Amino acid sequence: MRRKARRRAVLTGALAMSLLVPGAPVRAQHALDIHPLLPAPIWVYNDWSAYDELSDEVPLTETLAMRELAEILRLRRAGVRFDYFVMDAFWYDAAGGYRTWRKPEWPDGPDRWIAACRAAGIKPGLWFSTNTLTQLEPAPAWRSSLTANGDAMALYAGGFLDDFMDVLQSWYDRGIRLFKLDFADFNAALKGDEGRLAPAEIRHRNARALHDALRAFRRHNPDVVLVAFNGIVGDVESPLVPLNPFNIHWLDVFDSLYSGDPRPSDMPEMDLWRAIDIYSDEMVRHFALGGGTPLSRIDSTAFMVGDTATNYHRRISAWRGSLLLMAARGGWINTVHGNLEFLDEGAAQWIARVQRLYEPLQRVGITRAFGGAAAQAQPYGFASVGGDGALYTAVNPSQRVRTIHLPRLSPDQPSNMQGRVLFHDAGYEPFLEGDMLRLGPGELALVGYGGFASAENDLGIEPDIRIPHHITPLRTRFHEIEPLPGKSRSAQAQTDAQAPFPIEAVVAAPVQGDLRVVLRQRDEDGGLVRTVSARPMNEVFTIAAFQDGKRLPVDVRYDKVIWSGLSWAVGEIRRETFAPGRPIELRLATSDHDPDLHLEGQVYEVKY
């Protein structure tokens, strides 16, 4: 399965404003001044990725939910703030129309969980598939709204929407205060309407019907929190795909719009977790700069700890940078997913410090995106100013050392404040001089100015990501290995299951450093293409190296089953494994059989 990562985007006026002029204050990035519906930022726990019934086989049970509630209370005793606990997908009985809970996993229903949450001062929340039958049978009242193929309900006709809103109200009356609406299908046409109404008219009627129903629901329940997910916000696979133009209009009913589940960006990175950070950054910037959604109303949904396929069995690898970026992006709904038991007391204290650092800035500060486009290998970041200082979180997505300007956010912000690097990845030491910050390839750093530039705000180092001190591109000419005599590319693709179209090159082994090899996969037009596979991605994209006929070990971090696919591979060959100065043969391949795909390779010398 392949997904093309669209490579062209319209440079809108809002996006152009993100390319800041050095020394100039950041201008307003939204055409509309849309204030949050919430009175203040909140921190939400969601149990998805502690279990996973879509890409894994870890079920949701009452035992799991109560265990995670106990972990919330443990972390709260260490100072971590949690306001809500959201029960994600598949809590419901398939035949119950969202009114009954699944047995035997919940033999007595949700009452014990709801009561325990409320006793602890935690507000419970529930997930709902908006109008698609996701492991669910249509309730009797829904059948008059079914589509021709029977897998979704029209929102604009029949009995579904009224019954669905009655369901939400019944759960609100039982104590639920946050509703996560997912898997909306605005193309769902009432059976018989698919040929009578234009697709655009069907989408408009569905969206308007849901919007009006949720607006009435909010008026009746003013303290409710509503969050919008898949189908409501538009395509979240790539920051180059247009968003739902209706998004701005959703902001008077939804507290936040989600910007996509964690997945690797199309920017190649040695560390997979940094590539995932970059995707979430790109999508938040896409919603804000390209779609006009205020940063405070975007839920990046980026922080997941856990050991399920949904987060690539990450457990807690490189979790600090992920959490820091979530807070830095400025969203008022900060969501923590997964297995909280993986976070020890030291982690809890670190999280609490980040929350205390960013809480006043999220509440009353100014937060803006700055810098260039990650897809063009330009460094970028998020900055917040408030009180007596400012915080800047910056990322360098490129394969080179880069310097980024940290712009003023308002005319009132002093230009001569002293700065301090408060956090960065292991390895390369960021260099700060005034408002200029130099970062290593793939590096993340946090900089504080004014009142934030004190040693008491130091957050240390991310030990799970190591950035090289030096990186130098090596001039290397890759060429495609020709098909066997008498075979076309298409014919060879059908018979060679391992590596149909490899490319190869010869490079002189460095005298001192390691070799970093980057592979990217493109279509005939030069667009990046993701391959989705049930196998680990290092079996799809292979980087092989040989010296004197001996195969050399290649260190890779993308050796995961990645449900969202990958368009690149990066590996490093350590200097202790090869003889310096002698030729190394490199062979890069994909197991994707599309004859129109082409591979490209780059080679770098890196020193740690």
State the residue for tokens 């290995």.
Answer: 481
pLDDT at 497: 44
pLDDT for residue 524 is more than 70? yes
Which of 467, 484, 510 is the last residue in one of the domains?
Answer: 467
Tokens of 41: 């930022």
Tokens of 32: 């509309």
Tokens of 184: 């909306």
User: Is residue 355 located within the same domain as residue 482?
Assistant: no
User: Is residue 460 located within the same domain as residue 506?
Assistant: no
Specify the higher pLDDT residue, 496 or 408.
408
Residue 499 maps to which CATH number? Answer: 2.60.120
pLDDT for residue 385 is more than 50? yes
pLDDT at 388: 85
User: Is residue 238 located within the same domain as residue 382?
Assistant: no
Q: What angle do CA 93, 97, 98 make, to 5 degrees?
A: 65
Pairing label, strands 470-474, 419-427: unpaired
pLDDT at 493: 44
Residue 253 resides in a domain? yes
Backbone angles phi, psi at 327, to 5 degrees: -70, -40
What percent of the chain stands above pLDDT 90? 85
Residue 34 resides in a domain? no
pLDDT at 387: 80
User: Is residue 199 located within the same domain as residue 280?
Assistant: yes
Cβ proximity of 547 and 593 under 8 Å: no
Residues in CB range of 377: below 8 A, 6 or more apart: 267, 397, 398, 399, 400
Q: In what order do the strands lie in the sheet with 550-552?
A: 479-480, 503-508, 583-590, 541-547, 550-552
User: Is residue 316 located within the same domain as residue 240?
Assistant: yes
pTM for the predicted model, two decimal places: 0.92
Amino acid of residue 522: R
Residue 395 maps to which CATH number? Answer: 2.60.40.1180
Residue 92 resides in a domain? yes
Which of 467, 491, 520 is the last residue in one of the domains?
Answer: 467
Residue 241 maps to which CATH number? Answer: 3.20.20.70
pLDDT at 26: 34
User: Is residue 535 located within the same domain as residue 436?
Assistant: no
Amino acid of residue 199: P
Residue 29 resides in a domain? no
Residue 21 resides in a domain? no
Q: What share of the chain is helix, strand, coil (3-state, %, to 5)?
A: 25, 30, 45
Residue 247 resides in a domain? yes
pLDDT for residue 577 is more than 90? yes
Backbone angles phi, psi at 45, to 5 degrees: -100, 135
Cβ proximity of 186 and 207 under 8 Å: yes
Q: How confident is the model at residue 242 (pLDDT cuts 50, 70, 90)?
A: confident
Which of 317, 334, 364 is the last residue in one of the domains?
Answer: 364
User: For 558-575, what is each residue's pLDDT tens digit?
Assistant: 999 999 999 999 999 999
Cβ proximity of 340 and 75 under 8 Å: yes
Query: What phi-psi label fits residue 376: left (phi over 0), alpha (psi between -120 and 50 degrees) or beta?
Result: alpha
User: Is residue 569 located within the same domain as residue 430?
Assistant: no
pLDDT at 328: 98
User: For 432-459, what is each residue's pLDDT tens digit?
Assistant: 999 999 999 999 999 999 999 999 999 9
Cβ proximity of 362 and 41 under 8 Å: yes
Q: Residue 395, Cβ neighbours under 10 Å: how many?
A: 24
Residue 4 resides in a domain? no
pLDDT at 417: 76
pLDDT for residue 8 is more than 60? no
User: Is residue 163 located within the same domain as residue 151?
Assistant: yes
The mean per-residue pLDDT over the stretch 174-192 comes to 98
Pairing label, strands 366-371, 380-386: antiparallel
pLDDT at 483: 59
pLDDT for residue 487 is more than 70? no
Alpha-carbon torsion angle 275, 280, 282, 284, nearest 10 = -170
User: For 244-265, what is each residue's pLDDT tens digit?
Assistant: 888 999 999 999 999 999 999 9
User: Is residue 323 located within the same domain as residue 386?
Assistant: no
User: Is residue 408 located within the same domain as residue 456?
Assistant: yes
Strands of 440-527, DSSP E:
444-450, 460-467, 470-474, 479-480, 503-508, 514-522
Residue 36 resides in a domain? no
Structural domain of 216: 41-364
Pairing label, strands 42-46, 84-87: parallel
pLDDT for residue 484 is more than 60? no
DSSP element (H, E) containing 43: strand 42-46
pLDDT for residue 584 is more than 70? yes
User: For 121-174, what is each residue's pLDDT tens digit?
Assistant: 999 999 999 999 999 999 999 999 999 999 999 999 999 999 999 999 999 999
Please provide the average confidence, as pLDDT, over all residues in the chain.
91
User: For 37-92, what is each residue's pLDDT tens digit?
Assistant: 999 999 999 999 999 999 999 999 999 999 999 999 999 999 999 999 999 999 99
Q: How confident is the model at residue 23 (pLDDT cuts 50, 70, 90)?
A: very low
User: Is residue 160 located within the same domain as residue 295?
Assistant: yes
Residues in CB range of 245: below 8 A, 6 or more apart: none
User: Is residue 461 located within the same domain as residue 484?
Assistant: no
Give the single-character DSSP code of 90: -
pLDDT for residue 492 is more than 70? no
Beta bridge partners of 221: none
Pairing label, strands 419-427, 380-386: unpaired
Backbone angles phi, psi at 390, to 5 degrees: -150, 155
pLDDT for residue 335 is more than 70? yes
Nearest to 544 by CA among 531, 553, 535: 553
pLDDT for residue 416 is more than 70? yes
3-state secondary structure of 87: strand
State the residue for tokens 């308002």.
Answer: 410
pLDDT for residue 28 is more than 50? no
pLDDT at 13: 26
Q: What angle do CA 14, 378, 432 make, to 5 degrees?
A: 110
Total number of domains in the chain: 3
